[in-house]
Amino acid sequence: MCVYLYDQQDYEEGAEFSTQLVDRIRELNRRTLDSLAAKAYFYFSLFHEELDPKPPSKQSQVITIRGKLLAALRSAVLRKDFDTQASVTTLLLRNYFSTADITQADLLVAQTQFPENAPNNQVARYLYYLGRIRAIQLSYTDAHEHLISATRKAPSNSVAAGFYQASMKLLIVVELLMGDIPERELFSQPRLERTLEPYFRLVQAVRAGDLPSFLKIVQNSAKAFHRDGTYTLILRLRQNVIKTGIRVLSLSYSRISLRDICLRLGLESEESAEYIVAKAIRDGVIEASIDHEKGFMQTKQAGDIYATREPGEAFHERIRACLTLHDECVKAMRYPMNQHRLELKNAQEARERERELAKEIQEGDLDDDDAAGDFDGL
């Protein structure tokens, strides 16, 4: 019924029906209804998102249903209803993000524990929202790990293409904020080629350190970035574009004046260029020095990178990624409960039956034909 009402876009009647449905399921408290309860809460939240006024308005209906979702989460935890617990957790995170309540979402993650044996699709959603929270909090390394796991757990077919695209968009922005450049093959995938077009042009501008081109792309594609929820994160890339441009200039010129840096990067003044270059030197982006009197940047000769710790750290990151993938594969394996005990019990019963038959043959209670038939049965 919920699916039919949603397809007919009858959101008001669907919201009323789903509210009665979740109340009825909660009263029954039956473990056989756990999967149905998870779906019921999903459509319950989905219907209220479509009611006017829609998010991110503070008068939206999604705010009024938070109490019911939190109560459902408490009940699911007490009843060990893992399906409903996982579903309601992701719905609450989606609810908080729809009204930009990032602090509330972070508190929910900190004060609750996501079930380990949750369905794979719910785990992928939870990791996606967790990656968004960490990206907003400037924890780009943690956000990158969560988003990588979310994209790996996403279905490989076209059923969840929208989720895969949203995860990849956020992952690309996080990688750019970390100072990395995504692989070009990523943008040629059939599911991503069209939807990632503005992000591809964005990556090209960041890679080249072209600040005017970057600002033009952000202005032209602002509507798409707002719709994807990545606009505020993309605005942070301005400093990365400037740092990349300075790095390119330091590799191209052994000495360059601050005025030329200002003109090439499109900065406001030479004082701004001097400040940005000094910050890049302090952060270790470039190996250079500034002559304040003559107004130029002198690049130092690059040393042997293999004499530093960078290759070892990169190798360590790859090993950790492989070990994490191995652990996830082991956790994904499922075995029948107590199967070894059942096999051991059957083997013991077979041995006891064999001893009884052998004893009966020795005592002469069975003839050879009957004994052969009994042994064949074993």
pLDDT on residue 376: 47
Residue 374 is encoded by which pair of tokens?
């009994």
Give the SS3 label for residue 301: coil
Q: What is the pLDDT along the chain (378 residues), one digit of tens a residue?
A: 777 677 667 777 877 887 888 888 777 777 777 778 788 888 888 787 877 787 777 777 778 888 888 888 888 888 787 888 888 888 888 888 888 888 888 888 888 888 888 888 888 888 999 999 998 888 888 888 888 888 888 776 666 778 888 888 888 888 888 877 888 888 888 878 888 888 888 888 888 877 888 888 888 888 888 888 888 888 888 887 877 777 777 777 777 787 777 777 777 777 777 777 787 777 676 777 777 777 777 777 666 667 778 788 888 989 998 998 888 888 777 666 666 677 777 778 877 877 777 777 677 655 555 544 444 445
Positive or negative torsion for Cα 146, 147, 153, 159:
positive
Architecture of domain 2-29+36-239: Alpha Horseshoe (1.25)
Give the SS3 label for residue 308: coil
Does an H or E element contain 291, and which? strand 288-291
Q: What is the identity of the amino acid at 4? A: Y
CATH number for the domain whose boundaries are 240-301: 1.10.10.10
pTM of the model: 0.70
Give the integer Cα–Cα distance in Å for 292 and 274: 8
Give the integer Cα–Cα distance in Å for 26 and 69: 12
Preceding omega of 336 cis (within 30 degrees of 0): no
DSSP result, 315-348: HHHHHHHHHHHHHHHHHH----TTHHHHHHHHHH
Residue tagged 């059942």 (tokens): 342
Question: Domain segments of the chain: what residues?
Answer: 2-29+36-239, 240-301
DSSP result, 181-247: ---GGGGGSTTTTTTTHHHHHHHHHHHHT-HHHHHHHHHHTHHHHHHHT-HHHHHTHHHHHHHHHHH
DSSP result, 46-101: HHHHTSSSPTTSTT-HHHHTHHHHHHHHHHHHHTT-HHHHHHHHHHHHHHHHHTT-
Count CB atoms within 10 A of the CB of residue 267. 19
